[in-house]
Amino acid sequence: MILLSGITKTYPDGNNNFKRVLCGIDLEVQAGEFIAIMGASGSGKTTLLSILGALILPDGGSYRLYGQEVFGGKPSTLDDLRNRQIGFVFQEHRLMPQLCLRDNILLPVLASRLKASDEQLEYAKVLMELTGIDSLARQFPQQLSGGEAGRTALCRALIMKPALLLADEPTGQLDASTSRSIILLLQKINRELGTTIIMVSHSAQTASAAQRILTLDNGLLS
């Protein structure tokens, strides 16, 4: 499903020098896999995930999704990709404070249509029930706990039924019990919906929930 070949990425380090974060990443992911990528802070995990989410451009290499080169096409193709094919769970959740939970979940719908369809409204309800936040639908993000916010972000990532779910430190700011519940959810989604999941985490315990664990070190995956 996913094929990364020779992906490189550099960033300026503030001293007029450039730091190479990714030094030629090769990765192959099959459809339906649950993969965890581990690494120390600053190792480039979020950068790699952002490239996989088509959020940033690599400096070099190739990214194929379902055999199609992701980068190099029209911007509308990437928009469509990010909207329908890929669901992203951000580390800091990034919920819109002015929208209630349900509306936050439905937000991706408006990228391609003027309003949510009845099916989408119903599916949002299903997702909220699946993640146990259906009773919080009318609440606003300021009123949620970390776990509840995490689950909301997860539902938002899934509302468009993407083939690929990317999760950046989904348990990063949560306690052990809440982290476990998030991980179980991810496993459930992977199992029941067949969604390919690539998760980034610095926690071995979190990463152990995945089927395959990769380590990012010195800009290379192993």
Residues 164-183 that bind other proteins (CB under 8 A): none
Show Cβ contacts of residue 135 under 8 Å, excluding neighbours closer than 6 positions. none
The secondary element (H helix, E strand) that includes residue 220 is: strand 220-221
Antiparallel, parallel or unpaired: β 2-12 and 60-65: antiparallel
User: Is there binding between residue 79 and other proteins (CB under 8 A)?
Assistant: yes
Among the listed residues 35, 109, 144, 209, the single contact to other proteins using CB under 8 A: 109
Among the listed residues 27, 78, 193, 213, the single contact to other proteins using CB under 8 A: 78
Nearest to 198 by CA among 7, 31, 21: 31
User: Is there binding between residue 84 and other proteins (CB under 8 A)?
Assistant: yes
User: Is there binding between residue 76 and other proteins (CB under 8 A)?
Assistant: yes
| Count of C-beta atoms within a 10 Å radius of residue 84 | 15
CA-based end-to-end distance of the chain: 19
| Smallest distance, other proteins to C-beta of residue 84, A | 7
Which amino acid makes up residue 75?
P
Site string for other proteins, 21-60 (x = CB under 8 A): --------------------------------xxxxx---
- Which chain residues interact with other proteins by CB under 8 A? 53-57, 75-76, 78-84, 88, 90, 94, 96-100, 102-103, 106-112, 114-116, 121, 137-140, 142-143, 156, 160
